[in-house]
Chains A and B, each alone.
Chain A
Amino acid sequence: MRTYIIKRLLISVVILFFTGLIIYGLMRSLPTSYIESMAMTKSMAPGSKSYDEWMEQLTAMYHMDVGILPGYIQWIGEVFRGNFGDSWKWSVPVLEKFNDSVWISFTMGLIAFVIEMLIAIPLGVLAATKQYSKTDYTISVAALAGISLPTFFFASLLKLLFSVKLGWFDLYGLVGRDYEQLSQTGKILDQAKHLVLPIVTLVVVSMGSLMRYTRTNMLEVLNSDYIRTARAKGLSERRVIFHHAFRNTLIPIVTIVGGSLPGLFAGALITETLFAIPGIGYVSYQSMVSGDIPFSMFYLVFMAVLTLLGNLLSDILYAVVDPRVRVA
């Protein structure tokens, strides 16, 4: 087990290195004039160095003066010292901006994730136990509809209904207009209120795949021999489903759920952007659109790490949860 994990970790590091290289190469090839304009403004300041001198200093500072590969190696060197550089757009260190924004995304993601599981897993099990019934068809089509629903369209519909027609929520933002005057509890409630629509969007859009996954796995388990045996023993249907079948369905579900945990930190780029929630998704969207290389680079590599971590976690969890895998 340990050697397996170590081997997987090493492979992940290699993959991460090359992923980072591709991302870095891409970022470097982008036609960006940010450094030029920064050098221009700095050289305008009274008593400043000339434009050329600033240009030289800034390109050196961002490792723009060397080729892509050496630049990348230098970047990695800085990263090992915990330095991701300063964000161009936010003009604060990248990590500081990240720390400011990631927790709101995580909270939002976590709440949505829990709600999603609470709805999707029972419905998936229900659909499987009543295969080919009306309930099954309704749940399956609803799950597919959720998958097919474009986030931005659904969010717009929610806004139209709940913000414009009913006036229950604000259209944009994390805090209301009178936020500063509220008490401590009031502030928390205000933020919570602003998170309702984004969380509903996230839940509806991502629920479908978990529901389908649960249904497929539950069906597989229900068709297996030990379920037939359990039924033949004369066990009640309740006991067959909840004691024998559901526990076995939990194996794949735990792996997929565990694997998606790191993803909670990634932020919901589209949803946050639509609702202007200042989480990591929205912040990085703004950075990317304005060509902020240090922040985008950090965000992309961070996403890659999360993906790798998710895969690793689900593989390990699979071995932990299912003893049959460990033998092999």
Chain B
Amino acid sequence: MSNNLSNEPEMNEAAAPADEGAEEQLSLNDDRRVKVLSPGAMVRRRFFRNKIAVVGLVILLLMFAFSFIGGILSPYTEAQQFYRNEQIMKSFGAAVKNKDYRFRGAPDQDFSSIIQAQMVVNMQTEKNVFKYKGTEYSIRSDNDSLYELYSGDTLIGIATTVIVTPSDGTTELSFEFVSNALKADNAGETSFEADGTTYTLDEGGVVTDASGTPVADVGEYVIQAIMADAVITSGFREELIAALEAGRTSFEYNSSEYQLKYDAAKDTWEIKQFRTTQVIDTYAFPSAEHPLGTDKNGMDMLTRLMYGGRVSLIIGFIVVFIETAIGVVLGGVAGYFGGWVDELIMRIVDVFYCIPSLPIIIIIGAAMDAQRMPSAQRMFWLMLILGILGWAGVARLVRGQILSLREQEFMTAEEACGMRISRRIFKHLIPNVIPQLIVTSTMGLGSTIITEATLSFLGLGVKYPFASWGNIINDVNNTYVLTTYLFIWIPAGICLLATVLAFNLLGDGLRDAFDPKMKR
């Protein structure tokens, strides 16, 4: 084998036996005076002299460390989403000063809408007595805010602009309670009785029972909650009304701030509250927690970059492995046997050379999109297809090399020895092709990574939730990301460029190192 890849330097003539003594004088033509290097060691030496290739190797090692070790060290996982708290002004409720009459009928009495209408008409014309369907009604009132309708001495219903609302917002208040509270409010009394209980009514319109618990509020404002979890409590109502009366635009209650906005068209006040809401932390600028910020899904960019590198490198290696495996077997067989086998295999190679691979993968990618194939399965298919479409070059290379090697003397010797064909091909011919294979595979890794990245960039390769350098850069299709969020796509592009360049530099350096004609 001309190009032995073994790493140990060959020990020439089995190093001098120890018992002869180290300082033994050697004659000038003694072989031991000459330091002989194995081909492997020579390749290594030539390689390490090539500074650019060494730079490539170092970049690659860094990239591997970044992708594989970095992913382990990162405190976050690939698809972990982050949230941030945001202060958002939300509509809390609305308040309106009531100017319409609201009606309420006593239990078991007929207070239908026709009677209500009759009542209003008579209120406006200031007639205190009217007749309807043979019944005589009388209206009693102290001022404009409360009217009571009686039939004889029975209270039928009330019409009022003042509203009684339960303190907890839910309890159903009885008619007696409401009408007595209104009467007390109207008369300026501080207590009233209803349903056999005594209640106190303070100046702010809050009704409390004997134990001091607020039961209801009496006032001219209708206050509605808009937010689902908003409860209008007595204290809140008091603060709000105070603010409204004073004409203020904001007030505080229970240590949270509320803003009031008057809507002239609807004659209502909108009550807004600052609320902290949890939102997905998208496109966060770089910070201590996220050195490269977060992406559009609120995932840590640096971690995505590490996992993306892992995906890109693994896909690259698997694809190149598939290509090389198919190429070596078919190329080796074609080169060794020649004749019609060679002719057939080489025509297949020609056909595969002709198939435009990128368009084919784009079509298959679009079809997989239509099928809604899961991301992991997609990745598997992507590798397989890239591998199958890419073996033709390797097969050509192997065949060409074997054709020339086949004519050499050691092959004749092997044939004379009666060696098995498979052994001749795979044990003696293929190893001689390995240097060229290593070079093309290294370069091939670079181009495979670019192909994968291009496909992912187009959205047809590796898909969410998996990261890949290509699909990270995919975000630049959004022009706002292109111009504003440079931290999203520039690092991924640099990683991609550095890795592919490093593979190419390494391949170039290896080619020079393997080339026996190289002088340096």
Structural contact, B363 and A30, CB atoms closer than 8 A = yes
Q: How many residues of B contact A (CB 8 A)?
A: 43
Stretch from B68-76, B155-163, B268-276, B450-458 that touches the partner: B450-458
Q: How many residues of A contact B (CB 8 A)?
A: 50
**A147 partner, pick from B52, B458, B504, beta carbons under 8 A:** B504
B247 within 8 A of A: no
Q: Point out the residues of chain A lying under 8 angstroms from B367, CB to CB.
A: 30-32, 291
Stretch from B94-102, B139-147, B171-179, B476-484 that touches the partner: B476-484
B355 within 8 A of A: yes
A171 within 8 A of B: yes
- Knowing A31-B370, A157-B493, A308-B354, say if A150 contacts B359 (CB, 8 Å): no
Interface string of A3-43 (1 = CB under 8 A from B): 00000000100111011001100110011110000000000
Structural contact, A289 and B362, CB atoms closer than 8 A = yes
Shortest C-beta distance, A139 to chain B (Å), equals 12
Structural contact, B366 and A149, CB atoms closer than 8 A = no
B371 within 8 A of A: yes
Structural contact, B497 and A303, CB atoms closer than 8 A = no
Q: Point out the residues of chain A lying under 8 angstroms from B359, CB to CB.
A: 269, 284, 288, 296, 299-300, 303
B394 within 8 A of A: no
Structural contact, A273 and B497, CB atoms closer than 8 A = no
Q: Point out the residues of chain A lying under 8 angstroms from B450, CB to CB.
A: 148, 150
B379 within 8 A of A: no
Structural contact, B370 and A148, CB atoms closer than 8 A = no
Structural contact, A141 and B454, CB atoms closer than 8 A = no
Structural contact, A31 and B363, CB atoms closer than 8 A = no
Interface string of B479-520 (1 = CB under 8 A from A): 100110010010001001100110111001000000000001
Interface residue ranges of A260-317 to B (CB < 8 Å): 266, 269-270, 273, 284-285, 288-291, 296, 299-300, 303-304, 307-308
A248 within 8 A of B: no
Which of A30, A289, A304 lies at the interface centre, i.e. has the most chain B CB atoms within 10 A of its CB? Answer: A289
Structural contact, A15 and B356, CB atoms closer than 8 A = no
Interface residue ranges of B33-64 to A (CB < 8 Å): 52
- Knowing A137-B52, A160-B483, A291-B366, say if A22 contacts B496 (CB, 8 Å): no
Determine the distance from Cα of A171 to Cα of B508 in the docked complex, in whole angstroms: 36
**B504 partner, pick from A27, A137, A148, beta carbons under 8 A:** A148
Determine the distance from Cα of A26 to Cα of B363 in the docked complex, in whole angstroms: 9
- Knowing A150-B454, A164-B483, say if A19 contacts B366 (CB, 8 Å): no
Shortest C-beta distance, B446 to chain A (Å), equals 6
Q: Point out the residues of chain B lying under 8 angstroms from A148, CB to CB.
A: 446, 450, 497, 500-501, 503-504
Which residues on B are within 8 Å of A, measured CB to CB?
52, 347, 350-351, 353-356, 358-360, 362-364, 366-367, 370-371, 446, 450, 453-454, 457-458, 460, 470, 473, 476, 479, 482-483, 486, 489, 493, 496-497, 500-501, 503-505, 508, 520
The 8 nearest A-B residue pairs measured at CB: A153-B493, A303-B356, A148-B500, A148-B501, A19-B354, A304-B354, A289-B366, A30-B367
What are 20 A-B contacts with C-beta separation under 8 Å? A11-B350, A15-B347, A18-B351, A19-B355, A22-B351, A23-B355, A27-B363, A32-B370, A144-B504, A145-B497, A148-B446, A152-B476, A153-B493, A160-B482, A164-B483, A285-B362, A289-B366, A299-B359, A304-B355, A307-B356
